[in-house]
A and B are shown apart, each in its own frame.
Chain A
Amino acid sequence: MTDRQHDGGPEALLPSERPVRFLTDTGAAVRGRPRYPLPSPETLRRAYRAMVVGRRFDAQATALTKQGRLAVYPSSHGQEACQVGAVLALQDGDWFFPTYRESMALVTRGIEPTEVLALLRGDAHCGYDPHRHHVAPQCTPLATQTVHAAGLAYAEQRKGSGRIALACVGDGATSEGDFHEALNFAAVFKAPVVFLVQNNQYAISVPLDRQTAAPSLAHKGIGYGIRSERIDGNDPVAVLAVLSAAAEHARSGHGPFLVEAHTYRLESHTNADDATRYRTDAEAEEWRRRDPIARLEAYLRRRGHLSDEDVAEAATAAEEFAARLRTAMNAAPELTPLGMFDHVYDVPTPQLDEQRASLRSELEAEEALT
């Protein structure tokens, strides 16, 4: 059988033998440079600062949840390299397709944290304007957003805009049919889309070995003709290097790219979950030793790209960010019950108008009582 699309045969699509890493667990440069260009010191410094702020944001959101200010919060503590790397690998006009776990990424993208957290606080389904930020609404139905990303990337390609899309998806969600349909569509239409699988080892309680018998999640791309790679997702240098290469691959007309990043969520699935029911502290400890922030800090310091002042400045910025968030979230959100009837359609149906009028009179009657 001849290989129709790929000069090097299927082998050219295969991920590296071992996950790509630039840094050791302690942040030293690995021996033997990987085949991806090293990100610039400036990019890495930005990533460092964004991770420090992002982690603080995440801790604050978790604290707010404990205080009952958020309905639920899926933490991305431990996954900072992916959260930040995914966003920094994109250009402003590119599109980002997040899941519920990407709040940190959205903050990194520059969206107001209160707008990001509206979904999880429970006052709106999506607090930000997707068109303004080129960020799709955070997606809960698993893997469904991957097909949208393929379609949007294809639309950009048809317009010749030079923009790409990046879709996040979890390890568990790669079992959903939609993920496979997205890969296939993207490949068949050569859509400029990057799929980033954050393999944090668990889908709620279900570990990866119950999820798949594939040699790796990156291997799932091969059957669809997609160039695929796996990386140490707690190595910020590797995340940025490979995602930037993947974005470049897509942008320059080579079609989709699939990246599997090995990482770990250090918290429970959400605050409503109890991770002690399905995993050990020792396991989490293992991953704490591969902390992405500590690794990048060590690496940058050793190269003279990060000073004590830089570290202190990032820490201060993070505290300020958290303080602003606390204040903003202390104010109760403005709730407009009648707004429930808005935007169901462009123009409400007569029935919705009736229902709105009925609720309005209820609210007015309540008002009159108080």
Chain B
Amino acid sequence: MTTPSTTMAQALNSALRDALTEDERVVVFGEDVGRLGGVFRITDGLTAEFGEDRCFDTPLAEAGIVGFAVGMAMGGFRPVVELQFDAFAYPAFEQIASHVAKMRNRTRGRVALPMVIRIPYAGGIGGVEHHCDSSEAYYAHTPGLKVVTPATADDAYSLLREAIEDPDPVIFLEPKKLYWSKSQVALPVRTEPFGRAAIRRQGADATLVAYGPTVPVALEAAEAAVEEGWDLEVVDLRTIVPFDDETVAASVRRTGRCVIVSEAAGFAGVGAEIAARVQERCFHSLHAPVLRVTGYDIPYPPPMLEQHHLPNVDRILDSLDRLQRDDRPDPRFLPLGGAA
């Protein structure tokens, strides 16, 4: 028997459905998640199946949605809220940073907030401005939040189930360009728990560390690199917080080289944190500096230009050239125009 092919969107939908079935404390709400089933249809059919009490539309107010969820979580529910797009989560940032993240700590452990904030994020879908932000660093930089981002359909299912069961608040970042990507998955499925990165491809020469939307790009680059004689390992973080130092460091110690691939602007991003952690742990195993292939330090560009902004196979392959043992200065960092 063959396993059915499932999109990430379907896997997320199943995870919500199964969580609603198994735990009556679970409630799903947000903008357009009811009758419409969400603008990405992740909540499709849930209101019809479970009723308005379990999956419902709210007024259009993100601070309200998250603040309301805080109250409901304090009252014993397990809210799973959807913020429609990455950049439309910003009105809720006050609630997230000041309350969602801090409640457990402020109350010395007496008040927990088991809640999930689902956010479709990142680019690559031709979206106009404010629909393509990679906002993971804001959340990862906020102690008290777990930050999760699946790259495969089975992880999407499993990580979302785990997020809903988790006693702490989880920012669940869904790479929207992967919503429709299919894989062979039999649901329900449970993969590795939070805090475990996955080695998606084994290799000996260098480690590509990716998460969410860049995992397929890294895998593609690894295949393309074979021709150039590189045997690349690809690590998918799965959860940014908690961070799996062990898997990442073990991989880099084996390969001696590390390139981090992420869509977000590189400056002060999650990639910088990974690079720091790798050199702290693997300094003596490294044959080359830890590199990052990231989006540029610019506001996400208009859709017709996004292809020039996003990390791609060529840029990853180019980075490999800079991993050779070679003391010539990196041409990119010569005084202006050095690369031209």
Name the one of A71, A121, A277, A355 contacting B297, with C-beta atoms under 8 angstroms: A355
Asked if A204 is at the interface of the complex by the 8 Å CB criterion, the answer is: yes
Name the one of A118, A141, A177, A359 contacting B130, with C-beta atoms under 8 angstroms: A141
Name the one of B39, B57, B128 contacting A120, with C-beta atoms under 8 angstroms: B128
Name the one of A120, A124, A177, A340 contacting B309, with C-beta atoms under 8 angstroms: A340
**Inter-chain contacts of B127 with A (CB < 8 A):** 71
Write the chain B residue with the least CB distance to A139.
Answer: B130
Looking at the complex, which of B30-38, B149-157, B244-252 is the stretch in contact with chain A? Answer: B30-38
**Inter-chain contacts of B339 with A (CB < 8 A):** 357-358, 360-361
Q: How many whole Å from A67's CB to the nearest CB in chain B?
A: 15
Q: How many whole Å from B275's CB to the nearest CB in chain A?
A: 15
Write the chain A residue with the least CB distance to B59.
Answer: A175
**Inter-chain contacts of A300 with B (CB < 8 A):** none
Asked if B126 and A340 make an inter-chain contact with CB atoms under 8 angstroms apart, the answer reads no
Looking at the complex, which of B161-169, B214-222, B299-307 is the stretch in contact with chain A? Answer: B299-307
Q: How many whole Å from A137's CB to the nearest CB in chain B?
A: 9
Asked if B303 and A122 make an inter-chain contact with CB atoms under 8 angstroms apart, the answer reads yes
Name the one of B37, B298, B304, B332 contacting A121, with C-beta atoms under 8 angstroms: B304
List which A169-209 residues lie within 8 A (CB) of chain B: 172-173, 175-178, 203-206
Asked if A361 and B340 make an inter-chain contact with CB atoms under 8 angstroms apart, the answer reads yes
Asked if A337 is at the interface of the complex by the 8 Å CB criterion, the answer is: yes
Asked if A123 is at the interface of the complex by the 8 Å CB criterion, the answer is: yes
CA distance A358 to B10 in the complex (A): 39
Asked if B336 and A357 make an inter-chain contact with CB atoms under 8 angstroms apart, the answer reads yes
Asked if A341 and B340 make an inter-chain contact with CB atoms under 8 angstroms apart, the answer reads no
CA distance A89 to B293 in the complex (A): 51
Assuming the A-B contacts A122-B126, A359-B296, are A177 and B63 also in contact, with contact meaning beta carbons closer than 8 angstroms in the complex?
A: yes
Asked if A205 and B64 make an inter-chain contact with CB atoms under 8 angstroms apart, the answer reads no
CA distance A357 to B332 in the complex (A): 7
Asked if B61 and A204 make an inter-chain contact with CB atoms under 8 angstroms apart, the answer reads no
Asked if A351 is at the interface of the complex by the 8 Å CB criterion, the answer is: yes
Name the one of B31, B302, B336 contacting A206, with C-beta atoms under 8 angstroms: B31
Write the chain B residue with the least CB distance to A353.
Answer: B336
Asked if A140 is at the interface of the complex by the 8 Å CB criterion, the answer is: yes
Write the chain A residue with the least CB distance to B334.
Answer: A357
Name the one of B91, B337, B338 contacting A178, with C-beta atoms under 8 angstroms: B91
Name the one of A204, A337, A364 contacting B305, with C-beta atoms under 8 angstroms: A337
Assuming the A-B contacts A337-B308, A351-B297, are A357 and B128 also in contact, with contact meaning beta carbons closer than 8 angstroms in the complex?
A: no
Asked if B129 and A140 make an inter-chain contact with CB atoms under 8 angstroms apart, the answer reads yes
Asked if A206 and B305 make an inter-chain contact with CB atoms under 8 angstroms apart, the answer reads no
Asked if B68 is at the interface of the complex by the 8 Å CB criterion, the answer is: no
CA distance A172 to B246 in the complex (A): 47
Asked if B60 and A206 make an inter-chain contact with CB atoms under 8 angstroms apart, the answer reads yes
CA distance A46 to B315 in the complex (A): 55
Write the chain A residue with the least CB distance to B56.
Answer: A210
Asked if B126 and A341 make an inter-chain contact with CB atoms under 8 angstroms apart, the answer reads no
CA distance A232 to B104 in the complex (A): 50
Asked if A177 and B340 make an inter-chain contact with CB atoms under 8 angstroms apart, the answer reads no
Residues of A within 8 A of B (CB-CB), count: 50
Assuming the A-B contacts A172-B60, A333-B304, A357-B336, are A204 and B39 also in contact, with contact meaning beta carbons closer than 8 angstroms in the complex?
A: yes
Write the chain B residue with the least CB distance to A100.
Answer: B128
CA distance A341 to B298 in the complex (A): 7
Assuming the A-B contacts A122-B304, A141-B88, A360-B339, are A341 and B296 also in contact, with contact meaning beta carbons closer than 8 angstroms in the complex?
A: yes
Asked if B308 and A359 make an inter-chain contact with CB atoms under 8 angstroms apart, the answer reads yes
**Inter-chain contacts of A118 with B (CB < 8 A):** 302
Asked if B35 and A205 make an inter-chain contact with CB atoms under 8 angstroms apart, the answer reads yes
Asked if A355 and B60 make an inter-chain contact with CB atoms under 8 angstroms apart, the answer reads no
Asked if A173 and B60 make an inter-chain contact with CB atoms under 8 angstroms apart, the answer reads yes
Assuming the A-B contacts A125-B302, A358-B339, A359-B308, are A203 and B60 also in contact, with contact meaning beta carbons closer than 8 angstroms in the complex?
A: yes
List which A3-56 residues lie within 8 A (CB) of chain B: none
**Inter-chain contacts of B303 with A (CB < 8 A):** 71, 122
Asked if A61 is at the interface of the complex by the 8 Å CB criterion, the answer is: no
**Inter-chain contacts of A175 with B (CB < 8 A):** 59-61, 64
Asked if B60 and A142 make an inter-chain contact with CB atoms under 8 angstroms apart, the answer reads yes
Interface flags for B185-217 (1: CB within 8 Å of A; 0: not) read 000000000000000000000000000000000
Asked if A344 is at the interface of the complex by the 8 Å CB criterion, the answer is: yes
Most chain B Cβ neighbours within 10 Å, of A122, A177, A352:
A122
Asked if B129 and A177 make an inter-chain contact with CB atoms under 8 angstroms apart, the answer reads no
CA distance A91 to B327 in the complex (A): 65
List which A272-286 residues lie within 8 A (CB) of chain B: 272-273, 277-278
**Inter-chain contacts of A176 with B (CB < 8 A):** 60-62, 91
List which B56-83 residues lie within 8 A (CB) of chain A: 57, 59-64
**Inter-chain contacts of A122 with B (CB < 8 A):** 126, 128, 302-304
**Inter-chain contacts of A120 with B (CB < 8 A):** 128
Asked if A92 is at the interface of the complex by the 8 Å CB criterion, the answer is: no
Asked if B340 and A360 make an inter-chain contact with CB atoms under 8 angstroms apart, the answer reads yes
Assuming the A-B contacts A141-B90, A141-B130, A177-B91, are A335 and B332 also in contact, with contact meaning beta carbons closer than 8 angstroms in the complex?
A: no
**Inter-chain contacts of A204 with B (CB < 8 A):** 31-32, 36, 39
New contact pairs (19) apart from A142-B88, A362-B314, A362-B318, CB-CB < 8 Å: A118-B302, A122-B304, A141-B88, A172-B59, A172-B60, A177-B61, A178-B91, A203-B32, A205-B34, A206-B60, A278-B36, A333-B304, A335-B305, A340-B296, A349-B297, A351-B297, A352-B298, A359-B296, A364-B340
Which 3 pairs show the lowest CB-CB distances between chains A and B? Answer: A122-B303, A205-B36, A175-B59
Binding site for A on B (CB under 8 A): 31-32, 34-37, 39, 57, 59-64, 87-88, 90-91, 126-131, 267, 296-299, 301-305, 308-309, 314-315, 318, 331-333, 336-340
27 inter-chain pairs at a CB distance below 8 angstroms, sorted by A residue, are: A71-B126, A71-B127, A71-B128, A121-B304, A122-B128, A123-B302, A123-B304, A125-B299, A141-B87, A141-B88, A142-B60, A175-B59, A175-B61, A177-B63, A204-B36, A206-B34, A211-B60, A212-B59, A272-B39, A277-B36, A335-B304, A357-B336, A357-B337, A357-B340, A359-B308, A361-B339, A363-B308
